[in-house]
Chain A
Amino acid sequence: MCDLKHPVILILVLLLLFSSGLAYGKVYIDIDSPSFQKFPIAITDFKPLRPVADKGDLPAWFSDTLSRDLTITGYFNVLDRKAFLEDPKQAGITAEGIRFEDWTVIGAEYLVKGGFQTDERELVTEFRLFDVVRGELVVGKRYTGKPEDRNRMVMQFVNEILLALTGEAGLFETRIAFVKKGDASADIYTINFDGSDLRRITNYNVLTLSPRWSPDGRFLAFTSYRDGNADIYLRDLGNGSTRKIVFYPGLNLPGSWSRDSARLLVTLSRDGNQEIYDMNVGNSLLQRLTRDFAIDVSPVRSPDERRIAFVSNRSGSPQIYIMDADGGNVRRLTYEGNYNTSPAWSPKGKRIAYEGSVHGRFQIFTIDAEGGSPQQLTFEGGDHESPSWSPDGRYLACSVRGYGRSRIEIMNEGGQNARVLHEGNDGCQSPFWSPRLR
């Protein structure tokens, strides 16, 4: 979506020579298994495809950027270049020019090589991923674009590597929306999965909160006090227009969308108390789902849309509850601790992430959607809040607050490999992961 604003045509040429890439990768390594070991991968500096007098910074730029992006995924152990045995001057970038034993002996299982050719207007790059144990090419791509597209070329090839080795594309075409607070205001920003390209989405000089991306990637629903009351607005990210869609007296908060982006769960207090409703976005018709004098808030749909998880304090403290999509069959999910909020249902369907209070600090947990076996994912470094799953269910974003700083972090679904996406003095909160945007 955001990339549509740079309508640079990236011509993708699958190098037919290496069609073996399709045959490869049918047997994926289960990266979700607890015994999963990171892929040991070597990345050499890129070579000019034609002899040039001055190579510039590009050879190292490509290998450094690939290393960084592969490391970000949490699935790769990028080998130190100092350990490489290969003579870069002698070696080529195709299978014929590689002595695979030079790589297996230093512990590599995979190798990325590439080349580039550039003038001021055009950049042509070639990327190749080799399985050095088998001694064959896994996937190769050539990209043609403008010199400023080089970052996207790297991201796209990292997606190819992930697709080939794990069976699922990476997340480099996703963004994370979050709230950044000012003095007496708060606004919504979005940022790339790799922490690049921070963009301000709202600038209303009032409180603007709770971003909720539609599954088609087109809309961002949020709550703003633009007209004094907490009303729900819809930003069309295609044309930048914004319209107020829910504005009953009292609170109007967006919850999760339906998969077809046609319905939005909302929390409204128009009937005197916070209740959850399912709203048809097209005609604004509401179906009331909860009836309780306590707080009912933060509804999220299960991936199959048959159930809804939400927060209620009907038992006296905020806990996660589950009900059927029509509001029936309500049952309590969390029992440990006296403060469990912010449910986020994994796209894989089995687990629900949430934040819970442990010894006065807030940490991220997951729990089986059928009930039981809560697992704590974060332990230190401040209060961890508002978990949001990546579209593939392999990562969680959350906000971290402590020691006068606040940040948005990303970690693997098991809680490992946390990295900072954005940090600031101002409050960074309520991250929400976009769907894949292309």
Chain B
Amino acid sequence: MRRNWVWVGLIALVLCLSVTFLTGCAKKATLKEEAVVTQEQKAVSQAPAVADDAAAREKALQEQALTDQAAREAAERAAREEADRVARETADKAKKEAGAMAAAILKELQIADINFDFDKYNLKPEAQEILKKGAPAYLKYRDYKLVVEGHCDEQGTSEYNLALGEKRATEAAKYLADLGIEKARIKTISYGKEMPLDKGHDEAAWAKNRRAHFVIFPPVQ
């Protein structure tokens, strides 16, 4: 019987010890948990406040900056537009003036067609007069060049007329050079009988077609 009590006592002790041990362990775990929870709570409750502050400040700064820039830009735009308008008006005026001047120069430089007799390339007195009147403008506007085109009437061979047209252009060019226009500024080309001014087939048309024509080349901008 006594042995039984011993067993009971032993079991009781074991139970007691184990309870003690177990509860001790449980208590420790609970504390740890609590600590973690607290830290998390802290983090959760504090973080939003800090972020809101920074964002608000940033936003305010940005807004400020934007407002400033818009104002600055508006002012600049207005100034620029005004400057542009003035420039445009000035340019328009200048262009108009330049255009009018260029037109006036071209008009001054334009030499009327000179005419020739059939199968001839000598310059008739009236042709010489036209060239004498035309040359001074080229001495005044020295960046302008000219091309002298030689033309013939439809009578006779295409090839001979190409040569004849070239003779006419060359004679006119030589005369202009003698009047002081630099040779380098005068080019000649013959179109023979291939480019008639008047498509008629009578002497009146032919007389117009036997010509030297002058094309002005303005300076390249």
Contact = CB atoms under 8 A, between A and B. Distances in A.
Interface string A218-256: 000000000011100000000000000000001101000
A251 B157 CA distance: 15
A206 to B, nearest CB: 10
Given A295-B164, A295-B167, A401-B154, A253 B159 contact: yes
A259 B166 CA distance: 30
Contact of A251 (B119, B162, B194): B162
Q: How large is the interface on B (under 10, 10 to 19, 20 to 34, 35 or more residues)?
A: 20 to 34
B175 interface: no
Looking at B162, B191, B194, the one whose CB has the most chain A CB atoms below 10 A away is: B162
Contacts, number: 80
A210 B166 contact: no
Interface in B54-91: none
Given A274-B166, A318-B160, A341-B160, A362 B194 contact: no
Nearest to B164: A295
Contacts of A272: 170
B159 A298 contact: yes
Interface in A340-386: 341-342, 355, 357, 362, 383, 385-386
Interface in B85-122: 119
B166 A186 contact: no
B164 A179 contact: no
B158 A386 contact: yes
Interface string B165-200: 011001000000000000000001111101100000
A430 interface: yes
18 contacts: A184-B195, A250-B188, A274-B166, A297-B159, A297-B160, A297-B163, A298-B159, A298-B160, A313-B119, A317-B119, A342-B157, A342-B159, A355-B156, A383-B155, A386-B157, A404-B201, A429-B158, A430-B158
Contact of A385 (B157, B167, B189, B191): B157
A251 B201 CA distance: 26
A257 B155 CA distance: 27
B211 to A, nearest CB: 16
A210 B190 contact: no
A209 B194 contact: yes
B162 A355 contact: no
A181 interface: yes
Nearest to A311: B160
A419 B156 CA distance: 22
Contacts of A401: 154
Contacts of B189: 228-230
A250 B166 contact: yes
Given A274-B163, A318-B119, A339-B119, A251 B190 contact: yes
Interface string A249-282: 0110100000000000001010010100000000
B158 A267 contact: no
A298 B157 contact: yes
A382 to B, nearest CB: 10
Nearest to B121: A295
Contacts of B190: 230, 251
A115 B204 CA distance: 61
* Nearest 3 CB-CB pairings of A with B: A341-B157, A295-B163, A297-B163
B201 A209 contact: no
A207 interface: yes
Nearest to A383: B155
Interface of A: 179, 181, 184, 186, 207, 209-210, 228-230, 250-251, 253, 267, 269, 272, 274, 295, 297-298, 311, 313, 317-318, 338-339, 341-342, 355, 357, 362, 383, 385-386, 401, 404, 429-430
Given A228-B189, A297-B159, A317-B119, 12 more contacts: A181-B194, A209-B158, A209-B194, A230-B162, A297-B160, A297-B162, A298-B157, A298-B160, A341-B157, A355-B156, A401-B154, A430-B159
Nearest to A229: B189
A294 to B, nearest CB: 9
Nearest to B160: A341
Nearest to A254: B159
B166 to A, nearest CB: 6
A258 to B, nearest CB: 19
A6 to B, nearest CB: 33
A186 B194 contact: yes
A385 B161 CA distance: 13
Contacts of B192: 209
Contacts of A355: 156-157
Looking at B158, B164, B194, B201, the one whose CB has the most chain A CB atoms below 10 A away is: B158
Contact of B155 (A229, A317, A362): A362
A430 B162 CA distance: 13
Contacts of A385: 156-157
Nearest to A181: B194
Contacts of A251: 162-163, 166, 190
Nearest to A386: B157
A23 B191 CA distance: 57
B161 to A, nearest CB: 9
Looking at B157, B194, B195, the one whose CB has the most chain A CB atoms below 10 A away is: B157
A357 B201 CA distance: 16
A270 to B, nearest CB: 12
Contacts of B164: 295
A338 B156 CA distance: 11
A295 B119 CA distance: 11
Nearest to A403: B201
B102 to A, nearest CB: 24
Nearest to A298: B159
A341 B194 CA distance: 17
Contacts of A269: 163, 166
A210 B158 contact: yes
A430 B160 CA distance: 12
B168 to A, nearest CB: 11
